Structure 1
């Protein structure tokens, strides 16, 4: 067996905006941002081939120079000053007779524009292997042919090597700390290729915001190394505007029960950390009511207690495997056609997208692979589907809106249905109908309800383990549309995800040809990353119905 490659850290520093703000500012994040504060960081690793291999590369020697990248990052951060500041929990004062919703427990803020800002962590490193050997395509292949591409990713280089180990600020961070909210690592391979890894506290950015930042940074970098005019970049950091989409007074001392009822009726889990200590795999600290809240009357009289987390269905320490399935555009069309085949009457009333069909297809594969563990064909299984709010609220948010405006919907079906390829139209229809419930009015009610929770971090809209699938989508993010001045797109992009049982990522495929304006997200194919308990994964990769 070959020895694992060795990583050498060459330098570690902090990067600040090249043009600092003149006045320090504190901005409170949206209530939706605060609600995702327990999430693992949002991040990805972009793998770029050696610029010397690209005949059109104008500046191969400095394209991934750490000093040039630090300079361009500093220029870019002038438009992203919030990401260099102090992310912290707003101090909470108990037992006030009344308070603004932004003063309730668990609210987050970011203080930036100060000389004491922590900046962005920047690590330069070198690794003793080629870029090709670091990619999933290099590893062992199962059930793979020229038109059927399925990769075992267990041995690929991961974020523990290609991202900084720098801890990030989080929702428990005090107002005074020196933790960064963003960390970057540039790793040079022996072949001249490079990996650019970025991770950020999830409450500051989702996949859309992170991808936008990478496009902005790469555009600034390309301009600087070619002595061209700097591009204009305009990220929108206005978190309060998402709260305003609630269209009601969030400062109300007594919440409107009808609005709360409408929010609680939405198809979403309300798993309650405070009510789920029994059987937990995370220890009592993860489920403790914050000390500052324990003596408040409202804490002792929670109006609507959430669901208890079903720890008996989730073997937290069980080994998890990571597999990547690549579907071509033609294969995705085939899945879409199968999911849209006229069947039960209800499938004809909704427009099933390729994305809906793909989620349905992956869910059936996972449920079949888990059958020996579940054993009960009538048992309910759940697809937890993350979706963005930028276009779902009224009026819509800017496409350049920074933050983490997302929620998670729940689709529940009996295993006998959710594991059947012949039921694909019904499954896809259930997914589409569920997502259609989240209208602007429904999202407004959800924002209102979360703003009146005792803690926005108390509830989780998803779960893992053998009865759950959690889908995050990086479609429509333009992951591959960043060029650091080499004239070439990334060879591969790996969105980071912890090895946990039941996570699925839907990712745009690497470009086959030139990246053109208006290209659809699936035209170059789609990568589906699946994280599943090891024995279930062994069954999934042998399922010929992967390809329909």
Structure 2
């Protein structure tokens, strides 16, 4: 059955109190400047709740969002180039819609391309907005809350901070006991003249396919065991769940697409790393903005069954240390490196595979007053060779949201060894 959504209202939610003139100009940090111009998407799905009618839920969500926007004031402003946010209290677009189906028809064997229907914009239609929301009501009385936040202003941890703060304010009816965000990004990572670097490098319009591959806990454990031994030259401690899955998916991708090492190409595997805990002194989770970067490993192609990649990823993540952060704060060296990589990408010399993990993040904490979500989804993104790891609702397995070119996906999902672990 084709899922259809009908928009029933369109409005803009403004902050509940005006932003002081002294805070009108929110300076982007260096890490915000180089972040891609896309939305980060999350869709929370909630079962019916007899205590709340749809109009009551609607008023509840709008009132609490207005309060939250007064604290997260950059999200209600307009992005000006890659420089700053004009915190003009314009507000966040808020769409309400009805679906022609029940909640269970969406969350049972979910299809990523359907997630776009529960979001007010496509992920690459970021314009100059900070945030946008769509609330969709199902025939069964269930609700979907779709949240988009600009990656130019925030990273994944900040997205969860906004969503969970909004839920807490809605649930409690006020801002008491909810910590305020800290806006210190530009002080920690001062902005630079980033002329010549295009943050949109890597965004592709070609036909991409996103599919969800769910790995149960028992199979993940078997993969952790597989990669525990390593080799005599590269002994391994037992890998984490994400390390083991990354090594497995990379090796299956290389095998399925029959990729052969080309001396004229550079092969890189990226892992997103939260920098808050790596600064001295460390920052709290309430520090808002882009405070994460990529650890870059350069594995050999087709050499082994994943142990070498594991070792190189660990080394790359270890290298995101105090010295790395100090260079990042200085900015120029990192900017030159990015420009060099951009040139290689534009010439087709760079083959990248990206992993980002939302495992152990507070994904299922967003209770707006009618219980925790039964499922949380993302959406199809605009980067090829991108894997996002998300805990399953039960918390023991992992969903891998994998973005590949159409022809690569056909080969990858037909891989027999991959199928054994699903």
TM above 0.5, yes or no, is yes
Which residue of structure 1 lines up, in the alignment, with residue 67 of structure 2?
75
Local SS of the residue matching 2:250: helix
Which residue of structure 2 lines up, in the alignment, with residue 157 of structure 1?
114
1:435 maps onto 2:384 in alignment: no
- Separation in 1, partners of 2:213, 2:6: 32
Distance verdict in 2 for CA 1:317–1:109, change over 3 Å: closer
What is the count of residue pairs matched by the alignment? 414
Which residue of structure 1 lines up, in the alignment, with residue 278 of structure 2?
392
Tell me which of 106, 109, 118 is aligned to 2:84: 109
Mapping for residues 19-418 of structure 1, pairs under 5 Å: 19-25=17-23, 26-36=25-35, 38-52=36-50, 59-61=51-53, 65-89=57-81, 106=82, 108-112=83-87, 114=88, 117-135=89-107, 137=109, 153=111, 156-159=113-116, 161-165=117-121, 179-224=128-173, 230-243=176-189, 319-348=207-236, 352-371=239-258, 374-376=259-261, 381-417=267-303
1:496 maps onto 2:406 in alignment: no
Which residue of structure 2 lines up, in the alignment, with residue 518 of structure 1?
none
1:473 maps onto 2:357 in alignment: yes
- Separation in 1, partners of 2:123, 2:129: 7
**TM-score (normalised: structure 1):** 0.68
Give how far 1:484 is off: 1.4
| Alpha-carbon contact 2:180-2:286 (below 8 Å) kept | yes
Give how far 1:393 is off: 2.0
- Separation in 2, partners of 1:110, 1:457: 24
Cα RMSD over matched residues?
3.4
Give how far 1:180 is off: 3.0
- Separation in 2, partners of 1:452, 1:532: 28
Local SS of the residue matching 1:486: coil
Local SS of the residue matching 1:65: helix
Distance verdict in 2 for CA 1:453–1:358, change over 3 Å: closer
Give how far 1:428 is off: 1.1
- Separation in 2, partners of 1:63, 1:435: 48
- Separation in 2, partners of 1:209, 1:41: 13
Give how far 1:84 is off: 0.9
**TM-score (normalised: structure 2):** 0.86
- Separation in 1, partners of 2:67, 2:411: 49
| Alpha-carbon contact 2:261-2:300 (below 8 Å) kept | no
Local SS of the residue matching 1:13: strand
Tell me which of 396, 407, 421 is aligned to 1:535: 407
Distance verdict in 2 for CA 1:355–1:180, change over 3 Å: same
Tell me which of 365, 388, 405 is aligned to 1:505: 388
| Alpha-carbon contact 2:45-2:373 (below 8 Å) kept | yes
Distance verdict in 2 for CA 1:507–1:167, change over 3 Å: closer
- Separation in 2, partners of 1:229, 1:385: 35
Local SS of the residue matching 2:135: strand
Which residue of structure 1 lines up, in the alignment, with residue 367 of structure 2?
483
Distance verdict in 2 for CA 1:450–1:389, change over 3 Å: farther
Local SS of the residue matching 2:254: helix
| Alpha-carbon contact 1:473-1:506 (below 8 Å) kept | yes
Give how far 1:317 is off: 6.0
- Separation in 2, partners of 1:398, 1:317: 36
Q: What stretches of structure 1 of length at least 5 have no aligned partner?
A: 53-58, 90-105, 139-152, 174-178, 245-249, 254-271, 275-285, 288-308, 513-522
- Separation in 1, partners of 2:115, 2:312: 35
Distance verdict in 2 for CA 1:68–1:456, change over 3 Å: farther
- Separation in 1, partners of 2:125, 2:183: 19
- Separation in 1, partners of 2:56, 2:270: 38
Give how far 1:125 is off: 0.9
Distance verdict in 2 for CA 1:60–1:353, change over 3 Å: same
> What do residues 288-324 of structure 1 show as CA deviations (whole Å, max 9, x unaligned)?
xxxxxxxxxxxxxxxxxxxxx9xxxx9x565332221
Give how far 1:169 is off: 9.1
Give how far 1:184 is off: 0.5
